[in-house]
Amino acid sequence: MTDTLSDLAPEGRVHRRVYTDADVFAAEMERIFRRAWVYVAHESQVSAPGDFVTAHIGDRSVIVSRHKDGEIYAFANRCTHRGMKVCAARQGSKKRFVCPYHGWAFATDGSLIGVPHGKGYNGKLDPKDPALALAQVARIQSYRGFVFASDTPDGPSLTEYLGPMTRAIDNTVDRAPGGEIDIAGGGFRQRYMGNWKLHMENANDLMHASIVHASSVDSAQAVADELEDGAEDHALQMFKGNGLPLSAMDQVEIHGFAGGHSYMGGFYKEGPITQATNEDPVVAAYRTAMIESYGKNRAEDIMGWDTFNHLIYPNLILNPKHQQMRVLQPVSVDCTIVHSACFRLKDAPEKMYQRSIQFLSALNSPASQITTDDIAMFNNMQTAMDESDTEWVNMSRGLGHDQAHDDGGEIGEVGTSELPLRAQYTAWREFMRQQPR
C-alpha cells in the first residue's frame, strides 16, 4: 500500500476498492482503528473489580477489564504463550484470565501471574517480563461513562477527538433523572456480508428511507388504519416515519464534521416516541422525575433535543432520545458485525426502558423489518461492487451547498444531502494519508 490510498476517495466520490480490496481494509485497521478513539465499553458493564467485556478495536479482540486498583485496562485478547484467544466470553467477572490452552494466568490488568509447570523453563522465563503481559492498548479514557480506546500513544485527547459529539453523550446521560445510565441487559448482534462503511454511510442517509423501507411503511400504514390506538405503538411510528415524503426529509437538519462524525434531526414526529405529550402516563411520570431533578427549563432542554443517529467515527452510533446505541465491528473487507444495546435511565419509569427495547427490536434486531431491508442493500452492494469493474461510487448529492454551522461543522442545505458521507471520507482521507506506526 502506498500513500496514494487517500486518492481513492476524492471529494464527492469513492473508488470501489475502498469497499472490496482486502489491502485497503488492512490499511484501515492500522491507520484508522488503531489511531482513532474507538468505543469499547460502557462503565456500567465493568463497575466492580474483575468485571470485563471483550470488545474490538477494528478487527482485533481486546479485553476491557476493571482491575482491583479501580482502573479500567484494555489489553490484547491474545495469549503471549502460543497465541490463543484468552477469553471467549463477551462479558462477565473474573479474578484472573486463565488461557484455555496451557493455563497461563493473567491478572485483570493483563499482567502474567501464573505459568503451570514453570520449572520446565529452567529459570529462563520471567513472568514479570513486561513482554509476557497481555499487550496493553496505548490509551484508554472515559467520557461520562463511555469508554474509548486509542492504540496510539500520541494524538488528540478523547474530548478533543469527540469535539461537538460530546453533546450527544451528555444528552444521553442527562436524560436520566438520576444522572446515570447503564447497559442493563444484553443486546442484539447481527452480521452482514458487506463492508463496515456501508452501515455508517446508511445511518444518516435520509434519501434511502422511503425507498428501501417502502414495504414496512406500507404495512405500518395498513395496520395503523385499522388500529384506533396505532399511534401508541413505537414500531408503527418508526415505520411510518420512514415514509415521510422527500420534501419533508429535506426539512430535517443534517450535520457533518471534519472528524467524520455526523447526526441528523429527529423525524419521528408522532406519538410517545416524541415524549411531547403529558397525556401518556409513562411520559408524564418521566417528565415529573426530570423536572424534579433538573428544574423545568433544563429538563425541557434535555428532553427537547430532537435528533437521531449520532455517528461518532469510526464505530459508534448513539441515539440519545431513544436510549440506545449501535457499535460496529469490522470483521473483514466484506463482513461486519453490528452490536446494539439499550440504556436504562436511572430513576426513570421502568416502562421507558421497555419502550427502548421495543424500539430497538423494531429498528435493529434480526427480526426488524427495517434492518433486514438495509442489510439486503449492503449484501447486494458488496457483491455488485466486487463483481463489476465500474470504478466509482458517487456521493455528490448536495456537494457545494453544505454550509458552515456555528457548532463547528457543516449543515446540509437539504436533509437528503450526502454531507454525512463526505464528512466520513474527509476523516478517512486524513487517517489514510498517515503512514502506519
For residue 87, state whether it binds ligand FES (rule: CB under 6 A): no
Q: Answer positive or negative: Cα dihedral of 33, 329, 345, 109.
A: negative
The closest of 267, 62, 260, 240 to 147, measured between CA atoms, is 62
For residue 82, state whether it binds ligand FES (rule: CB under 6 A): yes
Applying CB under 6 A, the span of 95-103, 214-222, 257-265, 341-349 interacting with ligand FES comes to: 95-103
For residue 30, state whether it binds Fe ion (rule: CB under 5 A): no
Least distance in Å: CB of 83 to ligand FES?
6
Least distance in Å: CB of 302 to ligand FES?
48
Tell me how far apart the alpha carbons of residues 40 and 329 are, in angstroms, rounded to a whole number: 10
For residue 75, state whether it binds ligand FES (rule: CB under 6 A): no
Q: Which of 60, 81, 94, 139 binds ligand FES (CB under 6 A)?
A: 81
Least distance in Å: CB of 116 to ligand FES?
8
For residue 99, state whether it binds ligand FES (rule: CB under 6 A): yes
Query: How far is Cα of residue 277 from the mean position of the Cα atoms in its chain?
Result: 30
Cell numbers that stand for 425 in this block: 471520507
For residue 79, state whether it binds ligand FES (rule: CB under 6 A): yes
Residue with cell 479500567: 72
One-letter amino acid at 235 equals A
Are 16 and 390 spatial neighbours (Cβ–Cβ below 8 Å)?
A: yes
Tell me how far apart the alpha carbons of residues 198 and 377 are, in angstroms, rounded to a whole number: 9
Q: Which of 101, 301, 304, 384 binds ligand FES (CB under 6 A)?
A: 101
Tell me how far apart the alpha carbons of residues 75 and 151 are, in angstroms, rounded to a whole number: 10
Partner in contact with 374, chosen from ligand FES, Fe ion, none, beta carbon below 5 to 8 Å by kind: Fe ion
Tell me how far apart the alpha carbons of residues 417 and 423 are, in angstroms, rounded to a whole number: 11
CB nearer to ligand FES: give 82 or 387. 82
Tell me how far apart the alpha carbons of residues 154 and 363 are, in angstroms, rounded to a whole number: 38
For residue 151, state whether it binds Fe ion (rule: CB under 5 A): no
Minimal CB distance residue for Fe ion:
374
End-to-end CA distance of the chain: 14
CB nearer to ligand FES: give 105 or 231. 105
Half-sphere exposure of 418 (CA within 13 A, CB side): 19
Q: Which of 21, 51, 374, 418 binds Fe ion (CB under 5 A)?
A: 374
Least distance in Å: CB of 103 to ligand FES?
6
Least distance in Å: CB of 3 to ligand FES?
37
Least distance in Å: CB of 312 to Fe ion?
19
CB nearer to ligand FES: give 10 or 118. 118
Burial 349-385 (b: 16+ CB within 10 A, else e): beebbebbbebbbbbbbeebbbbebbbebbeebbeeb
**What does the binding site for ligand FES look like in residue numbers (CB under 6 A)?**
79, 81-82, 84, 99, 101-104
